[in-house]
Amino acid sequence: MRKNFVPFLPGLLMVAHLASAATIIVDPNPIVEAGSITSNVTGADMAGLTVTATYASPMAPFSFTAIWQATGPNSGGVAGPSPFPDEPAFTVSLTGNTIDSLAWKYTSTVLSPLLSLEFDGSDAGIYFDRSHTGPGTPGSGPGNDIMFGPLSPAGIDSSFVVTYSSAVALDGVAPRNDLYAKLTIDFPNSLTGPAEFQPQDFSFTQETVANIVPEPSSWLLALCGLVAAGKFVKRSI
C-alpha cells in the first residue's frame, strides 16, 4: 500500500510532520524480523505489548512498566503497578481498531510530571505504522504518524518528541521504513526547572499492524503434508 509523506534516509532521521505538531525522529536500528502481518488490529490483539511510563522527581526519574492484556473482545490495555489500593499508577487502553481516531487513552494517578511513554512491540509482534512516501510493507495500512487530542496548554504538543525505532523487515526483505517495533514519546519536562507538561489524561491516534502467527492446526497440516510427501518419495525410489 502506498504511504504518504517523509522520504527515508539511512540512520537517524528527524523530520517535521504536517498533521501532528510533534517533532518526529526515526531510528531504524535494530532491525526486527517479521512474517506476514495484518492491519486489522484491535485493542484485544496487542497482548504482550510492553508499555513503560517514566516520571520526574527531585531525586531521579522513576518508571513503571506493564504488559498489555486483552480486556474484552476488541479492547485491551495496561495498568501500571498500584501505589495506592485499587488505583494503578497509570493506564493506557484502547477499544476498537487502532486506526480509529484518538482510540489510545492515557490516564495517571501519579502527581509527578510525565517524562516519557515507551511502547515496545518487538516480542509481541505489534508494529507502529507511520507515514512514508512510496510503497509500504505488504499487509500494512495507510500509515500515519501519531496525532494527539486536545492538550493543556494548547499547542504544547509542538514540544513533544516522538521516536520510531527498530524498523521491521518482512520475510527477510529490507524494511520499507513504514513499520517500527518501538514508539517513544518524550514530553517537555525539566528535572531542574518547572515542568511544562503537568499530569493529565490525554488521547492519541496511532495505527499499528500485527504479526500473524499461524494456528497450531496450520502447522500440523503443513507437517503432515511434508511427512506424506516424504513417504511418497521413498515409495517412488
Cis peptide before 199 (omega within 30 of 0): no
Query: Cα(179)–Cα(138) distance, rounded to whole angstroms?
Result: 11
- Whether 92 and 67 have beta carbons less than 8 Å apart is answered as no
pLDDT at position 223 is 40
Q: Among 208, 25, 29, 185, which residue's Cα sits nearest to residue 129?
A: 208
Alpha helices in the chain (DSSP H): 216-236
pTM of the predicted model as reported, rounded to 2 decimal places: 0.83
Query: Cα(96)–Cα(203) distance, rounded to whole angstroms?
Result: 14
pLDDT at position 215 is 52
| 72-130 pLDDT per residue, tens | 999 999 999 876 667 889 999 999 999 999 999 999 988 888 999 999 999 999 999 99
Site of grid cell 511544562: 196
Percent of residues, the chain, with pLDDT higher than 90: 57
pLDDT at position 84 is 67
Q: Tell me how far apart the 2 most distant CA atoms of the chain are, in Å.
A: 80
With a CB cutoff of 8 Å and minimum separation 6, the contacts of 80 are 53, 64, 65, 66, 88, 89, 90, 91
Extract the residue ranges of the chain whose pLDDT is less than 50.
1-2, 4-19, 217-236
pLDDT at position 21 is 83
pLDDT at position 194 is 66
Q: Among 49, 44, 101, 100, which residue's Cα sits nearest to residue 74?
A: 44
pLDDT at position 59 is 87
Containing structural domain, residue 201: 2-236
pLDDT at position 128 is 98
The C-alpha cell of 38 is what?
495484518
pLDDT at position 153 is 81
The tally of domains found in the chain comes to 1
With a CB cutoff of 8 Å and minimum separation 6, the contacts of 231 are none
